[in-house]
Amino acid sequence: MARSIDKTIQRNFIPPIKNNLSEQLNVFQTSSKDISTAMNKSNSLLTTEDQKMLTETITTNDTSHSIITTTTTTTTTKTTIAKATNSLEAGCLCPFCNGIFQMTCHRPISEISCGHIICYQCFVLNTNQFGCVQCKKPSEENNSNMKLSSTINVLSDDKNGVQQVMPETIENQILNVFHHVFKLSDFRHNQWEALNAALHHHDCFILMPTGGGKSLCYQLPAIIDSGVTFVIAPLRSLIFDQKQRLNLLNIPSAALTGNISPEEANEIYRDLYKDIPAYKIVFITPEKISMSDQLNNVLRDLYNRQLLARFVIDECHCVSEWGHDFRRDYSQLGQLRLNYPEINLTLLTATATPRVQQDILQQLNINGNYKLFVQSFNRSNLIYECIPKENTDIALSQIANLIKINYQNQCGIIYCFSRAECDRTAQYLLAHNIHALSYHAGLNDALRQTIHMRWINNECQVICATVAFGMGIDKNNVRFVIHFSIPQSIEGYYQESGRAGRDGEIANCHLFFCYDDYIRMKRLILNDDESKSSKQTKQVRINNINRVYDYCLNNVTCRRAQLLEYFGEIFSSSECKGTMSTECDNCRQDFRTSSLDCTRISIEILKLLSDLNQTNSTLSYIIDILRGVNNKTIRDAGHHRLRAFNLCQQLTRLDVERLISRLITDGYVKQEFIEQQSSITAYLRPGTNAIQLTSLSSQRSGSTTKIHIELTIRIEQVNNDHDEEIQNPKQKLIEQINEQCFIELKKELKSIFSTSSYSNIISEQTIKALVKLMPRSKEKMIKDIFEITDELYKQHDFNRLLRILQRFGSERDEIKRKNVSQNSSDSENEIDFSVDFTDRTTHNKKRPTASIITTTITKRKRASGGSSF
């Protein structure tokens, strides 16, 4: 809506440049009529309350200080115009900026006390700071910022043809500054409304997606407002970045951060104590407010002199303990409303669930009367993808290939788990001729700033960073964000991946995940005694990481739908599928799904964990038991005789992991961490909520307690024999051979390609196809497998793959020939096929039908610009 309003206004608003003032005034008259028509038009699209707000004219606190005020008479105007006309005859250029006088930003403004004329923009930006920009004469009267809110803007004919002065409306001021200070043309969603609300003295809570344009919603009002706007931001890097952008726009700003010298700080304080401070925006950190008396004194002084314009809390999710970046000092900001009740607050964030929003408002003592601006969090230009990480080396080489193939001369960010990982990743990429730099909190401020600047200036292609490189990073052309390790929360992931594609062009977000990283991170949170996190805060962080891991494992649901659901937004995956060029990895693939009621399976899993409580069992071991893997360790331990053995034979390994991950997230299962040498192992145990689930099995039917655990899984190959209760044991052995063959082929490929990654040449799907078709000759391999060409075969000595396929092929043939009876058990393959997940003696229960991952080939519709893992 805002966009359409604005377009109408803009088309009519900027008049052509004219060489003399009377001509300019004529043009302006016409255009002002157009504006009011446009405003009327746009008003018809607004609610009554909005219309009232938009038509409200500004009331100044002291109009007598204005040169041209709302009460200025026609005579005064004529004098001004006469002066302006004289001055304009001498070249029509603003003497300060040399810009041509126009009727909008560069329209001439005369100052009453000295009679000099400058353009409106210089007037807004400089006159109050330096006195008259021509004679530098300070004027007690001229120096009031109030005049900025009430300068003449529109001249229109009255009935008698006499030009009259109209007060400048807030809308016009917004448009002026928007077009001519920020040099922007189209408002983004909600900007127009938020700017109006702020300038009409409302508290504003602005939730916009990353890169949505939140900064404008406080920067623009700060220029128009009288007094100084204080922006509370969480990081120096963010402040540094914002300040630089304001410098480019000639908007006077300062930062009272810990890294400035006492002299610099004193200079800023001196300015703030002036009658009219030069700075329009001052950045501070929440810690500064908590700790600095000097700052609090100046705030009080400005408040008493009515020169405190607004408080802006950037990244306000940090206020909430439920937010992902919670900061203790942020929670003290509730004092602002109590200490400065007249001052409006503007809250900005890109990540706040409804629960976090409520908490923020409560913490900040904002009740009822505020304007909320929420919009879809969907970043429609981002392509989300999760990639299982085999190990660090393979992931590194995958990343190097990905950048070389897909992102030549395009810049990106790689988020790493630790400082060491940043350094290692950057070194690896450098060794592969990719210009990468490492950025983390271990570097000193100056070096971090240099690296940041080199990246901003496109002197370095990739930045390998910890999350310290996050909020406030505004580089428009970031084409990819790679997470080398899983992020700490969904909000964190949304923020970090949101650094990509801020120019609105397509960009990719690749997330590498593995169970080891997940437990490493969890372990770190549990061991974190330094940050003095409360037990509750730790639990929040643990829940956050569990959610992220669930997200990574979920190979069914649209990534956008998953992310947006987290923020309380309902998103239809058809929207993602409908935009082929930016489909997420799950939407990109064709598969059918089925919903499984996993309640009973879950109960059995908990019983299994309880049975194994004395034995330390890892996730991988539990999955092996559940999937009936017939290996020596299981056999030696006698675990193939357990009731749960083979319980999930028809689920893929990933599905079983997803189910267990769900049980962990819901507290039915917990992980116990044991440190052995330098590695951490997590053992699974029944969790605190386990009893709620296991007690279900002893409840009579018809009981009111209902826990329902459902899992939607992919059905890639439907088992036609639905009614067959137990899968043919022959088939099971074949599956195991397939699985083993798949693993060996991957190992062999790794060794064939040694230094580089094979995954860009031979995809996971191709390996699966090899297993399925099991070609026994070179010719058949080339004929059956599309990706394998004669040239590729020779170039990489695929005879090595052929030998594996021949070996497993004959094993498979052998099994097919053998008549393996359902109850047979030889000494080598001792499998108890009679297990069922409900009752070991019951065979007439229907099992869920699921896919066999090793025989699955999914159709990939590659999106443009995406990777080809």
Contact between 191 and ligand ATP (CB under 6 A)? Answer: yes
Contact between 476 and ligand ATP (CB under 6 A)? Answer: yes
Contact 339, 330 (CB under 8 A): no
Contact between 487 and ligand ATP (CB under 6 A)? Answer: no
DSSP 226-238: SSEEEEE-S-HHH
Contact between 234 and ligand ATP (CB under 6 A)? Answer: no
Among 94, 117, 216, 295, binds ligand ATP (CB under 6 A): 216
Among 184, 260, 654, 680, binds ligand ATP (CB under 6 A): 184
Nearest CB to ligand ATP, comparing residues 209 and 687: 209
Nearest CB to ligand ATP, comparing residues 239 and 426: 239
Nearest CB to ligand ATP, comparing residues 237 and 736: 237
Nearest CB to ligand ATP, comparing residues 237 and 760: 237
Q: How far is the CB of 320 from ligand ATP (least distance, A)?
A: 16
Contact between 187 and ligand ATP (CB under 6 A)? Answer: yes
Q: How far is the CB of 552 from ligand ATP (least distance, A)?
A: 23
Among 15, 211, 221, 686, binds ligand ATP (CB under 6 A): 211
H/E stretch holding 681 reads strand 679-686
User: In sequence order, what are the residues at sequence separation of 6 or more whose Cβ sits closer than 8 angstroms to the Cβ of residue 672?
Assistant: 682, 683, 684, 685
Which segment (12-20, 471-479, 506-514, 653-661) binds ligand ATP by CB under 6 A? 471-479
Mapped to the 3 state alphabet, what secondary structure does 555-582 carry?
A: CCCCHHHHHHHHCCCCCCHHHHHCCHHH
3-state SS assignment for residue 205 = strand
Q: How far is the CB of 471 from ligand ATP (least distance, A)?
A: 6
Contact between 470 and ligand ATP (CB under 6 A)? Answer: no
Nearest CB to ligand ATP, comparing residues 479 and 520: 479
Contact between 474 and ligand ATP (CB under 6 A)? Answer: yes
Contact 126, 279 (CB under 8 A): no
List 311's β-bridge partners, or say none.
230, 345
Q: How far is the CB of 208 from ligand ATP (least distance, A)?
A: 5
How many angstroms separate the Cα of 23 from the Cα of each of 15, 28, 85, 697?
A: 11, 9, 11, 88
Mapped to the 3 state alphabet, what secondary structure does 335-394 carry?
A: HHHHHCCCCEEEEEECCCCHHHHHHHHHHCCCCCCEEEEECCCCCCCEEEEEEECCCHHH
Round to whole Å and give the CA distance between 785 and 778.
Answer: 11
Q: How far is the CB of 178 from ligand ATP (least distance, A)?
A: 8
Round to whole Å and give the CA distance between 659 and 443.
Answer: 41
Q: How far is the CB of 188 from ligand ATP (least distance, A)?
A: 4
Round to whole Å and give the CA distance between 282 and 260.
Answer: 13
Nearest CB to ligand ATP, comparing residues 179 and 577: 179
H/E stretch holding 671 reads strand 669-676
For 56, the token pair is: 């409200």
* β-pairing verdict for 478-483 and 507-513: parallel
Which segment (472-480, 605-613, 708-716, 835-843) binds ligand ATP by CB under 6 A? 472-480
3-state SS assignment for residue 483 = strand
Which segment (185-193, 333-341, 613-621, 792-800) binds ligand ATP by CB under 6 A? 185-193
Among 149, 210, 401, 661, binds ligand ATP (CB under 6 A): 210
Nearest CB to ligand ATP, comparing residues 2 and 25: 2
Which segment (15-23, 204-212, 291-299, 618-626) binds ligand ATP by CB under 6 A? 204-212
Q: How far is the CB of 483 from ligand ATP (least distance, A)?
A: 17
- The residue type of 19 is N
Which segment (182-190, 590-598, 690-698, 831-839) binds ligand ATP by CB under 6 A? 182-190
Q: Which among 761, 740, 765 has a CA at the least distance from the CA of 749?
A: 761
CA angle 9, 15, 17 (to 5 degrees): 155
Q: How far is the CB of 415 from ligand ATP (least distance, A)?
A: 15
Tell me how far the alpha carbon of residue 496 is from its chain's centroid.
Answer: 5
For 452, the token pair is: 């940041």
Contact between 213 and ligand ATP (CB under 6 A)? Answer: yes
Interacting positions 584-643 with ligand ATP (CB under 6 A) = none
Contact between 472 and ligand ATP (CB under 6 A)? Answer: yes
Which segment (208-216, 359-367, 410-418, 545-553) binds ligand ATP by CB under 6 A? 208-216
Contact 423, 437 (CB under 8 A): no
Contact between 243 and ligand ATP (CB under 6 A)? Answer: no
Q: How far is the CB of 499 from ligand ATP (least distance, A)?
A: 7
Nearest CB to ligand ATP, comparing residues 114 and 184: 184
Tell me how far the alpha carbon of residue 235 is from its chain's centroid.
Answer: 17
3-state SS assignment for residue 148 = helix
Contact between 215 and ligand ATP (CB under 6 A)? Answer: yes
Among 186, 445, 597, 725, binds ligand ATP (CB under 6 A): 186
CA angle 648, 650, 651 (to 5 degrees): 70
Among 25, 109, 124, 350, binds ligand ATP (CB under 6 A): 350
Contact between 511 and ligand ATP (CB under 6 A)? Answer: no
Among 412, 498, 628, 848, binds ligand ATP (CB under 6 A): 498
Q: How far is the CB of 12 from ligand ATP (least distance, A)?
A: 19
- The residue type of 440 is H
Contact 277, 228 (CB under 8 A): yes
Which segment (127-135, 162-170, 179-187, 261-269) binds ligand ATP by CB under 6 A? 179-187
Q: How far is the CB of 694 from ligand ATP (least distance, A)?
A: 45
- Backbone conformation region of residue 161, classed left if phi is above 0, alpha if psi is from -120 to 50, else beta: left
How many angstroms separate the Cα of 740 from the Cα of each of 330, 358, 374, 736, 771?
A: 54, 52, 51, 6, 10
Rg (the chain; Cα; Å): 33
Nearest CB to ligand ATP, comparing residues 108 and 472: 472
Which segment (106-114, 207-215, 301-309, 546-554) binds ligand ATP by CB under 6 A? 207-215
Round to whole Å and give the CA distance between 640 and 453.
Answer: 60
Interacting positions 524-553 with ligand ATP (CB under 6 A) = none
Q: Which among 449, 466, 459, 458 has a CA at the least distance from the CA of 415?
A: 466
Round to whole Å and give the CA distance between 102 and 97.
Answer: 13
Contact between 502 and ligand ATP (CB under 6 A)? Answer: yes
Q: Which among 622, 651, 644, 624 has a CA at the least distance from the CA of 713?
A: 651
Which segment (184-192, 291-299, 556-564, 644-652) binds ligand ATP by CB under 6 A? 184-192
Q: How far is the CB of 212 from ligand ATP (least distance, A)?
A: 4
Q: How far is the CB of 350 from ligand ATP (least distance, A)?
A: 4
Number of H helices and E strands in the chain, helices first, is 34, 21
Which segment (205-213, 267-275, 608-616, 665-673) binds ligand ATP by CB under 6 A? 205-213
Round to whole Å and give the CA distance between 683 and 691.
Answer: 19
Nearest CB to ligand ATP, comparing residues 191 and 489: 191
Q: Hey, which bits of 92-133 come out as E strands?
A: 108-110, 117-119
Among 65, 107, 147, 214, binds ligand ATP (CB under 6 A): 214
User: In sequence order, what are the residues at sequence separation of 6 or more whose Cβ sits closer than 8 angstroms to the Cβ of residue 91?
Assistant: none
Contact between 188 and ligand ATP (CB under 6 A)? Answer: yes
Nearest CB to ligand ATP, comparing residues 105 and 117: 105
Site of interaction with ligand ATP (CB under 6 A): 184, 186-188, 191, 208, 210-216, 350, 472, 474, 476, 498, 502
